[in-house]
Amino acid sequence: MAFSPDEAPTAPQIVPVRTDDGARFELIVTRPSQPTARRALLWLPAMGVPARHYLPLAQALAARGVTMAIHEWRGIGSSDRRAGRRTNWGYRELLQSDLAASTAALADQLPGCSWAMGGHSLGGQLACLYAALHPPQVEGLVLVASGAPYWRAFPHPWSLRVAFHLAPLLARLRGHLPGRRLGFAGNEARGVIADWARSGRSGRYAAQGIAQDLDAALATLHTPVLAIRL
């Protein structure tokens, strides 16, 4: 993508992040060359997609004056964790540890800046859940192809329902879901797959280790939303 000299974003900044349970990853921050607005977007990737794959989007937004920070999911890309029999996590760790660390790092990098949260697919779903659990922090939501994975809402629903039963079973047997071999997502922690499949089977959000009623929290969330369907 070509930019004029006035539009060209600055080089991406790599911000090391450490969570409360010791996990490490990198936050990629792309800023306009001449930032004027005090607003930013924290972007959450789709399941299994490394943060760097969204750099073209970040650069395009920076050329239009929007600062964007790209979160890295645990077990993917720059993360120091990899899913396996001895290493497991679920939505609880992603929401309470990893996203909490990214939002704190973003606040340090952009003091006084208000920010929206957005995401692609599972990233958009978890952005909604984080915003519902922490409404004062998030100014709005930007969602791309982020519909809930409820099996009845899709073509060929019965095959998808079977997949939502088989995926967590395979993850338990292997210690993780070998998504790279299957052509779906990445190599995912069995806890993530269990939480994701539970939502797919029931149409409701619930996460092992989170006591809050996530659907009830979503129902009370009032924030601007830009949702794009692909």
- What pLDDT digit, counting tens, does each position of 56-70 carry? 999 999 999 899 999
Mean pLDDT of 154-183: 91
Q: Where do the structural domains in the chain lie, given as residue ranges?
A: 13-148+209-228
Pairing assessment for the beta strands 176-178 and 141-144 based on DSSP bridges: unpaired
Instruction: Report the pLDDT averaged over residues 109-135.
Output: 95
What are 132's strand-pairing partners?
none
Give the model's pLDDT for residue 47.
Answer: 97
| Mean pLDDT (whole number) for 186-200 | 96
In this predicted structure, which of 33-42, 134-143, 207-216 has the lowest mean pLDDT?
Answer: 33-42
Q: pLDDT tier at 183 (50, 70, 90 boundaries)?
A: confident
Predicted TM-score (pTM) of this structure: 0.93
Per the structure block, which two tokens stand in for 177?
């879901």
> The CATH number of 13-148+209-228 is which of 3.40.50.1820, 3.40.50.720, 3.40.50.2020, 3.40.640.10?
3.40.50.1820
Q: How distant is the alpha carbon of residue 126 from its chain centre? A: 6
1 or 95: which leads in pLDDT: 95
Listed range (12-16, 91-95, 147-151) with the worst mean pLDDT: 147-151
Burial class (CB in 10 A: 0-12, 13-18, 19+), 166: exposed
Rounded to 5°, the CA angle 63-65-69 comes to: 90
